[in-house]
């Protein structure tokens, strides 16, 4: 089912999202991947604040290619989420409500999704040129030295994603395969 | 003897890095269009359709097809009658990669050290495989490799008694485990035989073979066809969201091996299977 939602994605909104829904997101989201997650968690361990407003936030696991002059951003598709599995439960417990990436998640992340009424979306892997068109603004907010891995705040418009794991822990990667599996 | 200036190598490699990242090769493009025609799942067709739009935008607006523009893998097949003049060949190759990734607005995804992880900021070094062949030409294959799928690749050191069934199981296991992480529909490159490192290089080279071409060895061709059918029966589908198109091709290369061994490498590539070949 096609749904249109605006950020912030709150627990009220994740209530309505079911595994398998096709969702178009509009609003502000953060971008962070491996090195940025590592730094954010290290900051927390030192007792420092996070550089992003984590409550009801959406984090997109992505590292864009460089923008040409006049472009908002370069190619901007999702990276593999499992590399963020070590860090995601900590951020979810602090208030992160939605993650966008691609690929499987660990049982610990799925537990944290259920515990926090969060949601895991997949964007289409390898569709970086298409997805860049839905990004209307982009600014680096910290860790600029990480290059493509810097933390960004972006404005998206009708950014297409699919609900893979909903707040009840239903997992589309497991259910959808069964339907077409004859091996 | 034929003289080739290394400036020519730099220039070609630069252009090939850019070309590989903006345009899918004809064989892959055709396979992607065919997949849209035959896919049974509705969501799978929707994804394949969006991937077609993605290719169109990349082509028209000169944006990389995927933001992971890869670590550059380069096969250099050098005719033994070639004499290189100019810079040291390896420097000329790395310079081509450096220029291509900078001028093409491609992502710099390479870190200098695997543990310390400082970005080199120019996507060098490339991984280069040299071989000396007959003749006076230089055949260059540039295959930038994304790591979503590279991370899902495997080497299995099977026993001779495992036989062809063991090989099939190894390939299916790797593909099943890769699932949505490898950005299906994927291309599966397989190397069978040789040694530990040889089978991995065979698998990588297999990914650069056109997806509509089969092995010339009859039993290997049959194995490629059988495995493609079995993989597409796994149900993983486009984006791993269920469907009948999990792989576009299975390309297998074989090599002699030791009486005690049966090495199998499975190198998985996403649907952005980039390979550009030039002969100079």
As a CATH number, domain B2-20+65-145 is: 3.30.360
For residue A62, which residues of chain B lie inside 8 Å, CB to CB? 67
Over pLDDT 90: what percentage of chain A?
96
Helix B42-61 and helix B26-38, axial crossing angle in degrees, nearest 10: 150
Q: How is the beta sheet containing B262-269 ordered, strand by strand?
A: B154-158, B262-269, B186-194, B247-257
| 8 Å CB contact of A127 and B43 | no
| 8 Å CB contact of A181 and B233 | yes
For residue A106 the two structure tokens come to: 């660990």
Identify the bridge partners of residue B78 per DSSP, sorted by sequence position.
Answer: B132, B138
Interface of A with B in 22-41 (CB under 8 A): 22, 35
- Distance (Å) from the C-alpha of residue A31 to the closest C-alpha of chain B? 14
A68 closest CB neighbour out of B105, B240, B244: B105
Task: Please tell me the predicted confidence (pLDDT) of residue A183.
Answer: 53
Task: Please tell me the predicted confidence (pLDDT) of residue A60.
Answer: 98
Distance CA B186, CA B188 (A): 6
Domain count, chain A: 1
Per residue in A103-162, pLDDT (tens digit) is: 999 999 999 999 999 999 999 999 999 999 999 999 999 999 999 999 999 999 999 999
Domain boundaries, chain B: 2-20+65-145, 148-274
Identify the bridge partners of residue B269 per DSSP, sorted by sequence position.
Answer: B187
| 8 Å CB contact of A181 and B121 | no
Residue A38 has pLDDT above 90, yes or no: yes
For B147, the enclosing helix (H) or strand (E) is: helix B147-150
At residue B124 the predicted structure's pLDDT band, cuts being 50, 70 and 90, is very high
Interface of A with B in 1-20 (CB under 8 A): 20
What's the mean pLDDT in A79-83? 97
Q: How far is CA B258 from CA B128, B195, B200, B255, B263, in A?
A: 26, 8, 16, 10, 9
Q: How is the beta sheet containing B127-133 ordered, strand by strand?
A: B127-133, B71-79, B138-145, B276-279
For residue A180, which residues of chain B lie inside 8 Å, CB to CB? 40-41, 235, 237, 242-244
Taking residue B115's Cβ as centre, other Cβ atoms within 10 Å add up to: 5
Per residue in B6-43, pLDDT (tens digit) is: 999 999 999 999 999 999 999 999 999 999 999 999 99
Nearest chain A residue to B240 by CA: give it: A173
At residue A97 the predicted structure's pLDDT band, cuts being 50, 70 and 90, is very high
- Distance (Å) from the C-alpha of residue A50 to the closest C-alpha of chain B? 22
Q: Tokens 């099977």 identify what position? A: B158
Interface of A with B in 111-140 (CB under 8 A): 122, 124-133
Q: Of A100, A99, A103, A105, which is closest to residue A85 (Cα–Cα)? A: A105
What's the mean pLDDT in A79-101? 98
Task: Please tell me the predicted confidence (pLDDT) of residue A182.
Answer: 80
Q: What are phi and psi of A151, to 5 degrees?
A: -85, 130
Residue B180 has pLDDT above 80, yes or no: yes
Task: Please tell me the predicted confidence (pLDDT) of residue A1.
Answer: 80
For residue A97 the two structure tokens come to: 């409500």
B54 closest CB neighbour out of A82, A130, A176: A130
Distance CA A182, CA B184 (A): 18
Residue B203 has pLDDT above 80, yes or no: yes
Can you tell me whether residue B159 is helix, strand or coil? coil
For residue A131, which residues of chain B lie inside 8 Å, CB to CB? 54
Distance CA A62, CA B153 (A): 21
Domain that holds residue A82: 2-180
Distance CA B64, CA A127 (A): 9
Per residue in B221-256, pLDDT (tens digit) is: 999 999 999 999 999 999 999 999 999 999 999 999
Nearest chain B residue to A128 by CA: give it: B66
Report the CATH number that the domain containing residue A164 is assigned in CATH. Answer: 3.20.130.10
Can you tell me whether residue B176 is helix, strand or coil? helix
């Amino acid at each position: 089912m096609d749904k249109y939602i605006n950020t912030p994605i709150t627990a009220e909104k994740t209530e309505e999202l079911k595994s398998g829904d096709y969702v178009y997101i509009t609003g502000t989201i953060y971008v962070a991947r491996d090195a940025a997650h590592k730094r954010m968690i290290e900051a927390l361990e030192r007792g420092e604040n996070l550089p992003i407003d984590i409550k009801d936030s959406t984090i997109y696991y992505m590292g864009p290619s460089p923008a040409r002059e006049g472009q908002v951003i370069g190619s901007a598709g999702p990276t593999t989420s499992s590399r963020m599995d070590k860090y995601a439960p900590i951020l979810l417990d602090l208030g992160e409500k939605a993650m966008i990436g691609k690929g499987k998640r660990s049982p610990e992340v799925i537990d944290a999704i259920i515990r926090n009424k969060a949601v895991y979306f997949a964007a289409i892997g390898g569709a970086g040129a298409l997805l860049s068109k839905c990004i209307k603004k982009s600014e680096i907010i910290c860790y600029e030295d990480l290059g493509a891995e810097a933390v960004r705040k972006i404005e998206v418009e009708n950014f297409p994603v699919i609900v893979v794991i909903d707040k009840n822990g239903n997992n589309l990667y497991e259910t959808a395969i069964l339907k077409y599996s004859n091996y | 003897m034929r003289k080739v200036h290394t400036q020519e190598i730099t220039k070609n490699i630069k252009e090939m890095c850019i070309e590989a990242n903006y345009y899918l090769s004809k064989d892959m493009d055709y396979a992607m269009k065919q997949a849209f025609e035959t896919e049974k799942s509705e969501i799978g067709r929707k994804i394949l359709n969006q991937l077609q739009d993605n290719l169109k935008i990349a082509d028209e607006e000169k944006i990389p097809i995927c933001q992971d523009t890869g670590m550059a893998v380069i096969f250099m097949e050098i005719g033994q009658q070639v004499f290189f003049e100019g810079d040291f060949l390896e420097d000329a190759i790395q310079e081509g990669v450096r220029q291509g990734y900078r001028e093409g607005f491609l992502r710099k995804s390479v870190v200098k050290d695997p543990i310390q992880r400082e970005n080199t900021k120019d996507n060098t070094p490339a991984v280069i495989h040299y071989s000396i062949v007959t003749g006076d030409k230089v055949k260059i294959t540039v295959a930038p490799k994304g790591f979503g799928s590279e991370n899902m690749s495997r080497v299995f050191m099977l026993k001779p008694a495992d036989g062809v069934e063991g090989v099939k199981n190894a390939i299916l296991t790797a593909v099943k485990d890769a699932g949505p992480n490898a950005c299906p529909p994927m291309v599966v490159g397989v190397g069978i035989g040789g040694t530990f490192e040889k089978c991995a290089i065979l698998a990588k080279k297999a990914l650069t073979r056109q997806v509509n071409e089969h092995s010339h060895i009859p039993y290997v061709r049959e194995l490629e066809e059988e495995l493609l059918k079995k993989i597409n029966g796994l149900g993983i589908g486009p984006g791993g969201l269920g469907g009948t198109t999990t792989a576009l091709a299975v390309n297998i290369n074989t090599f002699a091996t030791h009486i005690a061994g049966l090495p199998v490498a499975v190198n998985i590539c996403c649907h952005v299977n980039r390979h550009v070949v030039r002969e100079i």
